[in-house]
Structure 1
């Protein structure tokens, strides 16, 4: 993904490029062509519904990663920064989802976890009231709330996101300051930023590094489901021995 021979060693996070490439590759390997939604039991229900969420959002993150990298290599730094901002949003969305669904699974509220996964998979803002029902609220969670949640474990995530937003929004950093060229007289000249690729690469690597968080969240979810299965199995074992002790089992 990132070739160290094509990146200056002075670039921020240069020493982490190998690890970043590894995290991206691992997340890419989790892609599936289909998800089995046959509700055999609670475990298959939550796994299937959550997998729908994960497959969609992982694809979104990888699409912005690959598209942003192509834009960066083609000299379109501003488009690349837009993609990086989207990477922050995808990572924050996955992280917040895992935080919330794991809380439910860890307290054996699997039915609620399935409902949450369903709602988050189909969450939206545009005309959402028409889609909401008595059972499901499909209103998307505020992305800033999710960014702030990610900020608790990813240092300066909110600050980085705000900085990227300044470039993406039609503010000075994404317009006048971005294209204005220094001159010796009183005139103002415009053109492409000098060293645009090298100046943008550090922020791009920062966004790409969030795939380590995504991979970790996928493992957290899997671990939570496995512990749920373990608790259920142990409960059955305990029930068997309790009935055996009371003479109910022969």
Structure 2
């Protein structure tokens, strides 16, 4: 069931420009959420397994995208910055997979190399790092998951519009990992006069929100890609 969406709130400290960004990505989220399909019927794709695979892979990633956005919004509302950053970093990974799918589908339609594209789709749809699953089902064709950083960096290099994606990802990683930024500096503040550490749910609310907001802006790419995905799926139906 597709339920009503929680939207990103606007803290009082936001500038008018930042507030407009929040409004824009909230609208983007609503459109992406509405574009998901509750069912993808095989009867509609009898003419093309490739179209079926692209549609089901994209739809699952769209559900994951919306779920992560929702989780980030909920975490920020609960003053849980680490969880919000974990969700927003995972969102970047998921959008990189969607973008990779878009580029691969576009290339397959241009070059008409559907056999290689089908093998690639199989690998991505069933990718795993679970050694028990790999041992049980084998790796021919290989379903061992590719490192997500490799995918993210590769997508950024081929899609200039997302330049800076890896940099944002790396910044979030510093908070997601238990490095100093993820505990000492995120929650603590040292008073150098009396040598006392003070703690709060988050020390620098403005910078933390700005970083997460920057990550959430990738929802606009997903929104922009919706029409092209629909066109590609229709084109694949025609080629069988």
Q: TM-score, normalised by structure 2?
A: 0.82
Alignment partner of 1:51 out of 48, 55, 73: 55
The 1:112–1:221 alpha-carbon spacing in structure 2 relative to 1, beyond 3 Å, is farther
Alignment partner of 1:192 out of 194, 201, 204: 201
Unaligned runs of 5+ in 2: 1-6
Matched, 1:75 2:79: yes
State the shift of 1:227 in Å.
Answer: 5.0
Unaligned runs of 5+ in 1: 233-250
Matched, 1:139 2:144: yes
Aligned to 2:117: 113
Instruction: Tell me, in whole angstroms, the C-alpha distance in 2 between the residues paired with 1:8 and 1:40.
Output: 53
User: Does the Cα contact within 8 Å between 1:68 and 1:79 map onto a contact in 2?
Assistant: yes
Aligned to 1:2: 8
Instruction: Tell me, in whole angstroms, the C-alpha distance in 2 between the residues paired with 1:93 and 1:12.
Output: 29
Aligned to 1:40: 46
Matched, 1:206 2:210: no
Alignment partner of 1:28 out of 19, 28, 33: 33
Aligned to 2:126: 122
Alignment partner of 1:217 out of 213, 222, 225: 225
Q: 1:199-244: per-residue Cα shift (whole Å, max 9, x none)? A: 33222222221112123333333333445667x6xxxxxxxxxxxx
Q: Tell me, what secondary structure is at the counterpart of 1:29?
A: helix
Superposition CA RMSD, Å: 2.6
Aligned to 2:3: none
User: Does the Cα contact within 8 Å between 1:91 and 1:214 map onto a contact in 2?
Assistant: yes
Task: Give runs of aligned pairs for residues 173-184 of structure 1, distance below 5 A.
Answer: 173-183=181-191, 184=193
Q: TM-score, normalised by structure 1?
A: 0.79
User: Does the Cα contact within 8 Å between 2:85 and 2:175 map onto a contact in 1?
Assistant: yes
Instruction: Tell me, in whole angstroms, the C-alpha distance in 2 between the residues paired with 1:98 and 1:55.
Output: 13
Q: Tell me, what secondary structure is at the counterpart of 1:137?
A: coil
Instruction: Tell me, in whole angstroms, the C-alpha distance in 2 between the residues paired with 1:12 and 1:161.
Output: 23
The 1:229–1:62 alpha-carbon spacing in structure 2 relative to 1, beyond 3 Å, is closer
Q: 1:120-142: per-residue Cα shift (whole Å, max 9, x none)? A: 111112216423343x2212222
Q: More deviation in 185-194 or 72-81?
A: 185-194
Higher-Rg structure is 1
Q: Tell me, what secondary structure is at the counterpart of 1:75?
A: coil
Instruction: Tell me, in whole angstroms, the C-alpha distance in 2 between the residues paired with 1:78 and 1:229.
Output: 43
Aligned to 1:86: 90
